[in-house]
Amino acid sequence: MRVEELTVKIFADGADLAGIKDLAKRPFVKGFTTNPTLMRKADVRDYRQFALDVLAVVGDRPVSFEVFSDEFADMERQALEIASWGDQVYVKIPVTNAQGIFSGPLIKRLSTAGVNVNVTAVMTPDQVARVAECLAEGTPSVVSVFAGRIADTGRDPIPLMAESLQILRARPKAELLWASPRELLNVIQADAIGCHILTATSDIVAKLPLLGKDLLEFSLETVQMFRNDAVKAGFRIDTMQPSLSS
């Protein structure tokens, strides 16, 4: 399989503006996501200006920006402001606040008002079902299930993702997003079950051209890499032992 044959949409996940500009040149990148943690790592200081800079380089592709308040009233204010930045903007709402209180009423108000929401940090099919009940049937939305973090606990995320897809059939405008992939294989897994979107960090995006690569060719390239690096490093092993062929 080649990247052009994937049905799952690849969204780039990050907060490095230069990297986003580069990824925006790649036709197989269909959208973008970010979050406060990535933005902090990238030393973003002005949230609004960063978002506007991103929107200026990605064209009409969807972009998700996250609220960061922990109070629902303030979350709603932030969400409405973020949504005003562009028609392609999705507002990321965490499935609960930091106290574990379900964000459902806020999700319902925003979705009913026509705000495109991306409900994030979802981990279980039960959470998916509760979120789905809050989504307006006519408003586009995304439900981000953190399959990579699920796998980090030793659980196979594929059955949970497949179940989540079935749940979301009741909301035709809701898309399931495979979040936090750990390796390129996750792209194939997401595609195989019919997941709508997968977010990929720059390191995974860089590996996408490897899809379907001939393994013997890959083996030879790996041997050549080891040999070239050994030569560049000037490695030597001086020995008095005779060779096996002598």
pLDDT tens digits along 196-232: 999 998 899 999 999 999 999 999 999 999 999 999 9
Domains in the chain, number: 1
CATH of the domain at 78: 3.20.20.70
The SS3 call for residue 6 is coil
Does some domain include residue 44?
yes
Q: Would residue 131 count as lying in a domain?
A: yes
Q: What does the pLDDT read at residue 4?
A: 82
Establish if 177 belongs to a structural domain. yes
Q: Residue 181: inside a domain, yes or no?
A: yes
Tens digit of each residue's pLDDT (9 = 90 or more) over 101-149 = 999 999 999 999 999 999 999 999 999 999 999 999 999 999 999 999 9
CA geometry: angle 47, 52, 56, nearest 5 deg: 150
Token pair listed for 122: 């979802």
Total-model pTM: 0.91
The stretch 27-45 carries a mean pLDDT of 95
218 within domain boundaries: no
Asked whether residue 125 is domain-assigned, the answer is yes
- pLDDT at position 246 is 62
Could you tell me if residue 226 is inside a domain? no
* Residues carrying an active site annotation: 92
180 is in which domain, residue-wise? 3-212
Q: Is residue 149 part of a domain?
A: yes
Are 132 and 167 within 8 A, CB to CB? yes
